[in-house]
Structure 1
Amino acid sequence: MIRASGLRSGYGGRAVLHGVDLRLAAGEFAALLGPNGSGKTTLLLTLAGVLTPLDGRVELDGRDLARISARERARLASCVPQSVQVPQGFTVRELVRMGRYAHAGFFGGCGPEDEAAVDAALSEARCQELAPREACGLSGGERQRVLLARALCQGRRLLLLDEPTSALDLARRVEAFDLLAAQHRAGGTVLAAAHDLNLAALYCPRLIFLKGGRVALDGPTAEVFTEANLKDIYETDIRVAPHPVTGAPQAHMVPGAGPGRP
């Protein structure tokens, strides 16, 4: 589905990623994890075509991403950024409808199929009641749900999400991951950057850890989500125990055990 080879990417000529190799097959659901500054956002922006690599290559469906037009990229992959400036003067429904840009006809109009896609996305992201409101007046959590709805409206084949639950309360976080899991079960491919280790381990069959701009760990959740690995990645004492309902590994922080502590 999407592949990065020897990827160096960053900002203003300064590399944040250093030789990243990564392949996400169609139908996978993976979480991108790692400490602050490890390169998660940079990798997602590069995979989405927002950032141009300093070196290396990104392929989408076997084609060089650099040779795919922005409009076609938008049809193939939907991206939810960590933060976005919501334009003034638009309702939530109009903002979500913007996700149909890549599918619009020659004259750019929206037909019944597009409006049905908007309705479905609003419903799945639990945003129906927000539809008539001014988008610029939303709270952080509401805005995050609306941006997810816009991505679903754009396309569900490949979802690239940067901290999609960062502004959500606990119940909404679970709802959001339930929604992503449903997209995965329906055949979609999902790559989500996250700081919530436990939600990622509960929902994602595959975990990819970045550290220092490189892939430090990559594999099935049950194999890589261990105390030794997490202590090495985050440089703090972390204990792992099974979830009481699902049995998935869950991380437990140890107070006073940050970097530099005995």
Structure 2
Amino acid sequence: MASASCQNKTATKRKIADERRVFQEKWTDDYFFVESNNIALCLQCREVVPVFKDYNLKRHYIQMHPKLSEFQGVCHKQKILDVKKNIRFQQQLFRKSATQPDSLVKASYVVANLIAKKSKPFADGEFIKECHESVADIICPEKKSDFSKISLSHQTIARRVEDISKYTENTLESRCATFKFYSIALDKSTDVTDTAQLAIFIRGVDKDFGITEELASLVPLKDTTKSIDLYKALKQHWQDFP
């Protein structure tokens, strides 16, 4: 009898896979979750919840993102749209690059990043490509064709730099959303054209005491550079910040 009872309990025991739970659209508005590859993805911290269950999503929302409850009505919907847009951009970025071998695409981005860091003209990409081909012809002739396939045209470098810029901005926005405490630092300098620039730095700490310190923006100051001008520039930037 005991053996039959155990078998009956085993047969009637529910399995999560058999429940065929489906993602409910209301969970996006209620808990900032979307469906991605048959799992629930948090729009705010990118963590996943494998089981489509209201309790699991609600618990994550309350414990990890209590401040999101401050967004109500139109602000709430706009916040969801902004985060969704950032995720779509990142997905499109990797999807576009998938049409070429990863190594060639990565090499193109590395060169574009160096050109941007050194403030070199985008047209220098073609010259760099010629240098690569000449060096490869001497050191590794069998690899010269691979270097020739790296796209470093003026237009490509411009797109790569724009992609890197947007990705960096989106990453910083995502990190800022997790800050428990943060501070702002300002620094004023002039560029090569003698135009005053206000550098805005942000430093924040998340719940795990991870520290992020990054340049948030570089704002040109067109008129005077008094303290009131710095304050107005900072205030305007913060209002425009997503």
TM-score (norm 1): 0.24
TM-score (norm 2): 0.25
Structure showing greater radius of gyration is: 2
